[in-house]
């Protein structure tokens, strides 16, 4: 995204920001998701950039799902693909077919849920916790309790392990250095630094350099 800004290719920035917003929504950072979605809409509106507007609807739907707001999720998904339709040449429409359904009604009381069901939901809860996807971990934990098993306590995203190289880059980011300055210090290319940042941001559950600095401060205080 830095290169797109540098060489004035704004349209190519938005897929990257869309992925950042998806990560934020999955990690429960709904404020960051909303801010990125607002940026997309503000840029797309006067330019009639429908693809970018769809990016915004997609991440808003993900955020709504994470908060259990199924009506809002449905409205955003319907913007991408109206109910009962599957538009051509619209990749996001495939997602709306699979993801935004509310949790199915349980047809059996918790005491009659099979051990296989409880094991599957328990595995899902562990995976979501490991990924730092707090809303989905909470939802899986609720389903686990409804199946008659004790829920799982979510692990704070800050405890997710960084590789040694990621730790060095994160510490330099916290001092306020740019990607180019970090690259010079570590004898890397700016693109490599950008890739490392893209990979490490989800681990502490952040989507910005400032939030990364705050997460590191919290870790040092523990």
- The alpha carbons of the chain give a radius of gyration, in whole angstroms, of 20
Other C-beta atoms within 10 Å of 129: how many? 22
CA-closest candidate to residue 119, choices 143, 99, 137, 139: 143
pLDDT at 153: 52
CA-closest candidate to residue 26, choices 177, 112, 118, 130: 130
Output the tens digit of pLDDT for each of the chain's 222 residues: 777 777 788 788 899 899 999 988 888 888 899 999 999 999 999 999 999 999 999 999 999 888 878 889 888 988 998 877 888 888 888 877 665 554 443 444 544 556 777 788 788 778 877 776 777 777 778 777 777 766 555 444 444 567 788 888 988 988 889 999 999 988 888 888 888 888 888 777 777 888 888 888 776 655
pLDDT at 54: 93
CA distance 57 to 30: 14
CA distance 220 to 222: 6
pLDDT at 165: 84
pLDDT at 106: 43
Task: Say what the pTM is.
Answer: 0.53
pLDDT at 151: 56
CA atoms in the 13 A half-sphere facing the CB of 46: 3
pLDDT at 132: 67
CA distance 12 to 16: 8
Other C-beta atoms within 10 Å of 84: how many? 6
CA-closest candidate to residue 100, choices 139, 127, 55, 64: 64
CA distance 33 to 12: 19
Q: Cβ(60)–Cβ(37) under 8 Å?
A: yes
How far is Cα of residue 112 from the mean position of the Cα atoms in its chain? 34
CA atoms in the 13 A half-sphere facing the CB of 65: 26
pLDDT at 57: 95
């Amino acid at each position: 995204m830095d290169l797109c800004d540098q060489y004035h290719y704004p349209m190519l920035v938005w897929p990257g920001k869309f992925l950042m917003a998806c990560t934020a929504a999955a990690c429960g950072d709904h404020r960051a998701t909303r801010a990125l979605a607002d940026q997309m809409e503000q840029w797309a509106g006067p330019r009639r950039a429908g693809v970018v507007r769809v990016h915004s609807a997609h991440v808003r739907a993900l955020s709504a799902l994470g908060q259990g707001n199924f009506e809002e999720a449905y409205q955003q998904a319907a913007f991408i693909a109206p109910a009962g339709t599957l538009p051509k040449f619209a990749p996001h429409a495939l997602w709306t077919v699979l993801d935004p359904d509310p949790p199915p009604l349980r047809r059996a009381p918790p005491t009659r849920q099979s051990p296989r069901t409880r094991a599957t939901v328990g595995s899902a809860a562990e995976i979501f916790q490991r990924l730092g996807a707090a809303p989905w971990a909470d939802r899986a934990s609720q389903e686990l309790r409804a199946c008659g098993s004790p829920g799982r306590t979510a692990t704070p995203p800050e405890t997710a392990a960084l590789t040694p190289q990621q730790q060095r880059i994160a510490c330099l980011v916290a001092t306020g250095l740019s990607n180019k300055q970090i690259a010079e210090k570590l004898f890397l290319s700016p693109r490599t630094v950008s890739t490392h940042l893209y990979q490490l941001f989800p681990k502490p559950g952040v989507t910005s350099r400032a939030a990364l600095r705050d997460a590191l401060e919290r870790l040092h205080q523990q």
